[in-house]
Amino acid sequence: MGKKYTFVAIGVVAAALCLSLLILGIAWKRGYIADQNSREKDLRGMDLQTGVFTYRQIKAATDSFADSNKLGEGGFGSVYMGRLLDGTPIAVKKLSSKSKQGNREFVNEIGMIAGIQHPNVVRLYGCCVEGNHLLLVYEYMENNSLAHALFEHNNSKLEIDWPTRQRICVGIAKGLTFLHEDSVLKMVHRDIKATNVLLDADLTPKISDFGLAKLDEEENTHITTRVAGTIGYMAPEYALRGYLTYKADVYSFGVLALEIVVGKSNMKYRPTEDYYCLLDWVVVLQQKGRLIELVDPRLGSEFNKKEAVRMIKIALLCTNKAPALRPTMSEVVNMLDGRTKIKEPNMNVIMSEEELMLKEIGPKFHEMKPHESDQTEISIEPTAFSSHDLYPDSQNF
């Protein structure tokens, strides 16, 4: 009898031990557990030049996507900081969904975008596509986003003086000029805003989240049924009709330039109930000849009044209701650098049906919760469709 119980006990212990080893084996294989040696082994194969990484490598670099490494969360997924064996910091965007492209096509597309390099564009090192995992690996920006510096000054240690604001504005303009005119992939960003401009250690601005749409060299229009953008930054013709050209980015840049001068978010600034956004108020002050009142009071008297008014006027040119009357980004750079004379903004263009519809969105926007007001996609009913899709539907991140 005693021997029988002994055999049973041994069997139970053996079964439990086998089950434990099996669970540990599965956990190790899936990367749930790993010691420092295995982490270093995983990272050894992570070469920033290849452009394609394994999920195990990225998981090791981010310490299994630890909460302490989480930098933020946007409409398309979470962002984590990672570090390679040599100490190189990286930013990993963990996308919540994937484009309609197949894996191979997606990797090829990322490979082309990764080849885009400019001092004012965040560099994309590559991606990871494994099962349901879709991650993008970027260079890490030490000083967070421009939005953090401008609008969250209570939580930001950065003090952005007037010369720095000018330099940031010019840098963004140069980055957009490159994407529109000089890169191998001519593309429209579609979502230029303060949160999509990152600042490095020297406060050099770098455009992120690019590669969502592109136009061919003939500048054909892309009329889409799904608009990716943010309320308050989108050009009227794009927001309501899906009519996409480079001039949509020019409009968004104009709004952003105003925010840089004023230090306030376009859709979160209402001087009175009669105005739904900063741009409304700017137009009123322009007509009254009081543009200087817009300058961020945090600057005190430490700014050049002539330069400030100049930048506001350029922003107004960029936000013209008529796309054809907006300058190109290369023209904007020349105006910002003082190489080209600035035309007086014409704010008397008749308001279009699209703008009237956008005006109706204003009150609803202010009723939104904070996380809803920064949405990056809006459904629309277009008046027409393009003969071919110049860029497959893909997700921002």
Q: Per-residue pLDDT tens for 350-369?
A: 444 445 555 555 555 555 55
209 annotated as a binding-site residue = yes
- pLDDT tens for 4-50 read 556 555 665 565 566 555 554 554 455 444 444 554 554 555 555 55
Task: Report CA-CA distances (Å) from 128 to 106, 110, 314.
Answer: 10, 10, 41
Report the b/e string of 222-242 with b at 16+ CB within 10 A: bbbeebbbbbbbbbbbbbbbb
Evaluate the CA torsion angle 270, 274, 278, 281 in order and state its sign: negative
Residue 213: predicted pLDDT: 45
pTM score: 0.76
- What phi and psi, each to the nearest 5 degrees, are found at residue 81? -90, 140
pLDDT at 235: 93
Alpha-carbon distance of 78 to 75, in angstroms, equals 8
Q: What's residue 382's pLDDT?
A: 37
The CATH class, in words, for 146-379 is mainly alpha
Residue 395 has what pLDDT? 33
What is the pLDDT, as a whole number, of residue 180?
Answer: 95
* 196 among annotated binding-site residues: yes
CB-based contact 368:251 (threshold 8 Å):
no
Q: How many CA atoms lie within 13 A of 89 on its CB side?
A: 11
296 has binding-site annotation: no
The ranges assigned to domains in the chain are: 36-139, 146-379
Rounded to whole angstroms, how far apart are CA atoms 228 and 376? 5
**Identity of the amino acid at 223:** I
Strand 133-139 vs strand 187-188: parallel, antiparallel, or unpaired? unpaired
Low-confidence residues of the chain: pLDDT under 70: 1-50, 74-76, 96-109, 155, 211-227, 273, 347-397
DSSP string, 94-122: EESS--SS-HHHHHHHHHHHHT--BTTBP
Distance, in Å, from the CA atom of 145 to the CA atom of 149, rounded to the nearest integer, reads 7
pLDDT tens string 78-121: 899 999 878 889 999 887 655 545 566 666 667 778 888 999 99
The pLDDT score that the predictor gives to residue 353 is 45
pLDDT of residue 194: 95
Residue written as token pair 């930048």: 311
Active site residues: 191
Class of domain 36-139: alpha beta
